[in-house]
């Protein structure tokens, strides 16, 4: 997703100026997405140009400008929220390509690579566990849900590595 709907969503609660948008957005995501303030202002300007938000009043204190959601903005947000995510699955991590190349280049002893990768995933799983606990302890159940998603992904990654290790041990019959 782009920042666009994040901004629209926060403005749906109440009018905010750019810096508040940045702070609230980052707080909502518990520090898992750092936003550049310049990016927020650019996004606000673009949304204003498209008629989805509008400034409230004049520039106030130190040139701060409040923005609110317009009716088209509200509609755009609602339809985005109602839409399931589609499109191809994105595998962003290099490991997917690395394994293909390692099999070609390094004469296919993937064992050490798989074992190191698994270690990374186990560490990640431990870190995510801690993060989930911390979120619950702090009463941030929304954030805990986000971490759950990441946890399940990492569990799947580990299963995948295990499967690859098993075929590496028993020999690939394909």
Partner 1 sequence: MDRRAIGNGHLWGLGMTELVRLTDITKVYQGGVTGALNGVSLTVEEGEFTAVMGPSGSGKSTLLNLVAGLDRPSSGSVMVAGADLGRMGEAALARFRRDRVGFVFQFFHLLPNLTALENVLVPAQLRSNTSAESRGRELLKQLGIEEIADRYPAKLSGGQQQRVAIARALINRPTLLLADEPTGALDTRSGDQVMDLLMQLHRQGQTILLVTHDAKLATRYAARVISVLDGRIVDDARLETAERAAVDVIRVRGEETRR
Footprint of partner 1 (CB under 8 A): 1-4, 6, 29-34, 39, 42-43, 46, 111, 115-116, 118-119, 122-131, 134, 146-147, 150-151, 155, 158, 162, 165-166, 169-170
What CA–CA distance (Å, rounded) separates 1 from 100? 29
What CA–CA distance (Å, rounded) separates 37 from 149? 27
Q: Which is nearer to partner 1, 6 or 70 (CB)?
A: 6
Q: Which is nearer to partner 1, 14 or 127 (CB)?
A: 127
Cα 169 from chain centroid?
Answer: 35
What CA–CA distance (Å, rounded) separates 73 from 8? 7
Question: For helices 71-82 and 3-13, what crossing angle results, to 10°?
Answer: 120
What CA–CA distance (Å, rounded) separates 116 from 93? 15
Q: Which is nearer to partner 1, 59 or 162 (CB)?
A: 162
CB of 171: closest distance to partner 1 in angstroms? 11
CB of 75: closest distance to partner 1 in angstroms? 21
CB of 21: closest distance to partner 1 in angstroms? 14
Q: Which residue has the tokens 């839409």?
A: 83
Q: Which is nearer to partner 1, 3 or 52 (CB)?
A: 3
CB of 95: closest distance to partner 1 in angstroms? 15
């Amino acid at each position: 997703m782009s920042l666009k709907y994040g901004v629209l969503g926060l403005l749906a609660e109440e009018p905010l100026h750019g810096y508040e948008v940045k702070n609230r957005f980052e707080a909502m995501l518990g520090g898992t997405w750092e936003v550049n303030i310049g990016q927020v202002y650019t996004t606000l300007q673009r949304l204003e140009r498209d008629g989805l938000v509008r400034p409230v009043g004049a520039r106030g204190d130190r040139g701060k400008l409040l923005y609110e959601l317009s009716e088209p903005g509200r509609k755009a947000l609602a339809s985005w929220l109602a839409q399931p995510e589609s499109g191809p699955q994105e595998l962003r991590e290099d490991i997917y390509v690395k394994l293909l190349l390692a099999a070609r280049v390094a004469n296919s002893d993937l064992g050490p690579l798989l074992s190191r990768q698994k270690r990374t995933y186990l560490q990640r799983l431990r870190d995510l566990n801690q993060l989930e606990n911390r979120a619950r302890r702090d009463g941030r159940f929304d954030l805990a849900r986000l971490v759950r998603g990441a946890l399940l992904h990492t569990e799947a990654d580990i299963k995948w590595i295990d499967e690859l290790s098993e075929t590496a041990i028993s020999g690939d019959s394909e």
